[in-house]
Structure 1
Amino acid sequence: MNIGKPRKIGKTIDEIVEGDSLSVTESIEDQQLLLYLGLTNDANPLYIQHDYASQTPYERPIVPSIMLMGIVTSAISKHLPGPGSHVVNFSVNFVEVVHHYETITFDFEVIKVDKMKEVITISVEAVNIENDRVLDAVVLVQPPIKLVESSDVNE
Structure 2
Amino acid sequence: MDYSDKIKHWEDLNIGDSASFTKTMTETDIIIWVGLTGDLNPIHIDKEYSQTTRFKDVLVPGVMVLGLISNAITQATFGNVYANQSIKFLKPVYVGDTITATATIVEKLEAKSMVRLETKCTNQKGELVMIGEGMEYILKD
Task: Give the TM-score taking structure 2 as reference length.
Answer: 0.92
Query: Displaced runs of 4+ in structure 1, greater than 6 A?
Result: none
**Does 2:95 correspond to 1:100?**
yes
The equivalent residue for 2:113 is 118
**Does 2:18 correspond to 1:21?**
yes
What are the equivalent positions in structure 2 for 1:7-46 lying under 5 Å apart? Answer: 7-8=3-4, 9-46=6-43
The equivalent residue for 1:81 is 77
Partner AA of 1:88 in structure 2: A
Q: CA deviation at 1:95?
A: 0.6
| Structure 1 portions without partners, runs of 5+ | 147-155
Alpha carbon RMSD of aligned pairs, Å? 1.4
Following the alignment from structure 1 to structure 2, what is the Cα–Cα distance between the partners of residues 108 and 75? 5
Following the alignment from structure 1 to structure 2, what is the Cα–Cα distance between the partners of residues 145 and 63? 37
Q: CA deviation at 1:134?
A: 0.2
- Does the CA contact (< 8 Å) of 1:81 and 1:144 recur in 2? no
**Does 2:52 correspond to 1:61?**
no
Q: CA deviation at 1:66?
A: 1.1
Q: CA deviation at 1:50?
A: 0.5
The equivalent residue for 1:91 is 86
| Structure 2 portions without partners, runs of 5+ | none
**Does 2:12 correspond to 1:6?**
no
Partner AA of 2:38 in structure 1: N
- Does the CA contact (< 8 Å) of 1:13 and 1:120 recur in 2? no
Following the alignment from structure 1 to structure 2, what is the Cα–Cα distance between the partners of residues 6 and 103? 32
- Does the CA contact (< 8 Å) of 1:118 and 1:142 recur in 2? yes
Question: How many residue pairs are counted as aligned between the two chains?
Answer: 140
- The share of aligned pairs that are identical, in percent, is 23
Following the alignment from structure 2 to structure 1, what is the Cα–Cα distance between the partners of residues 102 and 132? 10
Task: Give the TM-score taking structure 1 as reference length.
Answer: 0.84
Following the alignment from structure 1 to structure 2, what is the Cα–Cα distance between the partners of residues 31 and 144? 35
